[in-house]
């Protein structure tokens, strides 16, 4: 029987698939760390109070990248190149989600609208990250090899999502509500399509590494497409709703380290 638990267990148990999984995850987290660091450096003067929180967000993402690299080192495995079709962060940028890297590489300050767009994009992608980590914690939070890492990353992702809700609600009260709702909707509809394509690509690679029979690969692909159909019909609404978070000022303190991993 196919289930998220059985699939992830299979990936974790096999060195080649575990190596690819951690490499993809580490690359995406490190890219997110760089992007947030650049955004923090370019925040306009009128929003400088956000810079420490954006910096904290980037530091957390860098930490997650180090954690995945550390998991690889514990098995004596090097990171491997990330196949382009599995690079969620790169594909999101190409689809217009996230601030363009050309803009982030320049020294020109960002605008207030850029920051509103960045936070709106982040609200959508952090929902995906928080949901994925919550699922992994449910099934593997006590796993002797990856459980501690999963719990730590999940806690951070919940903080990131709360931060996005909190800041977007504040910015909506300050007059940015129409822009926020427009960008949230556009981002959610784009993200679910990118997530479908990346999921199909990742499962394709895993299937080849783990020698899955065609029927198993076909069933997984059908499930991914079915999830996309539901998200396209109704599920995306959950990714655009804003509500006051239970965790207040979640990125207001100092970042937590990960000495046992880094």
Q: Maximum CA pair distance of the chain? A: 57
Angle at 8 between CA 72 and CA 219, to 5 degrees: 135
pLDDT over 90 (residue 252)? no
Average pLDDT over residues 146-155: 96
Residue 247 pLDDT class (50, 70, 90 cuts): confident
Cα separation, 220 vs 224, whole angstroms:
6
What is the topology classification, in CATH, of domain 4-239? Ferritin (1.20.1260)
- Domain borders along the chain are 4-239
Mean pLDDT, the chain, rounded, equals 94
Which pLDDT tens digit goes with each residue over 156-190?
A: 999 999 999 999 999 999 999 999 999 999 999 99
Is the separation of the CB atoms in 228 and 196 below 8 Å? yes
* Cα distance between residue 73 and residue 220, in whole Å: 30
User: Whole-angstrom Cα distance, residue 177 to residue 171?
Assistant: 7
Is 80 exceeded by the pLDDT of residue 256?
no
Q: State mean pLDDT over 226-235.
A: 96
Which residues are CB-neighbours of 187 under 8 A, at least 6 positions away? 97, 120, 121, 123, 124, 125, 239
In 10 A of CB 166, how many CB atoms? 21
As a whole number of angstroms, the distance between CA 54 and CA 46 comes to: 15
- Say whether pLDDT at 191 is over 60: yes
Place of tokens 């990960």: 258
Residue 254: the pLDDT is 54
Measured distance between the N- and C-terminal CA atoms of the chain, rounded to whole angstroms: 36
Instruction: Supply the pTM of this predicted model.
Output: 0.93
Tokens representing 256? 């937590």
Strand, helix or coil at 253? coil
CB distance 171 to 40 below 8 Å: no
| 6: CB partners within 8 A, 6+ apart | none
CA distance 45 to 56: 18
Q: What percent of the chain has pLDDT over 90?
A: 91
Tens of pLDDT, residues 33-88: 999 999 999 999 999 999 999 999 999 999 999 999 999 999 999 999 999 999 99
**Closest-CA residue to 141 (of 153, 150, 132, 133):** 150
pLDDT at res. 3: 82
């Amino acid at each position: 029987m196919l289930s998220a638990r059985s699939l992830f267990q299979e990936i974790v148990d096999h060195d080649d698939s575990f190596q690819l999984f951690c490499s993809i995850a580490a690359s995406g987290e490190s890219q997110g760390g760089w992007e947030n660091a650049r955004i923090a450096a370019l925040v306009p003067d009128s929003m400088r109070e956000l810079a420490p929180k954006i910096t904290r967000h980037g530091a957390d993402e860098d930490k997650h990248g180090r954690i995945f690299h550390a998991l690889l080192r514990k098995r004596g495995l090097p990171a491997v190149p990330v196949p382009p079709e599995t690079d969620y962060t790169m594909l999101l940028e190409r689809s217009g989600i996230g601030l363009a890297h050309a803009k982030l590489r320049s020294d020109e300050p960002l605008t207030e609208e850029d920051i509103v767009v960045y936070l709106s994009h982040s609200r959508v992608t952090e929902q995906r990250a928080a949901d994925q980590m919550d699922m992994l914690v449910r099934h593997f939070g006590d796993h002797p090899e990856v459980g501690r890492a999963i719990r730590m990353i999940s806690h951070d992702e919940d903080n990131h999502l709360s931060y996005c809700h909190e800041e977007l609600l504040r910015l909506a009260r300050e007059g940015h509500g129409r822009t926020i709702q427009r960008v949230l909707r556009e981002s959610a509809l784009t993200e679910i399509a990118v997530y479908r394509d990346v999921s199909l690509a990742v499962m394709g690679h895993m299937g080849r590494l783990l020698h899955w029979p065609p029927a198993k690969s076909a069933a997984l692909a059908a499930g991914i497409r079915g999830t996309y159909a539901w998200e396209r019909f109704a599920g995306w609404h959950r990714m655009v709703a804003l509500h006051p978070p239970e965790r207040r000022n979640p990125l207001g303190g100092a970042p937590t380290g990960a000495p046992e991993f880094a």
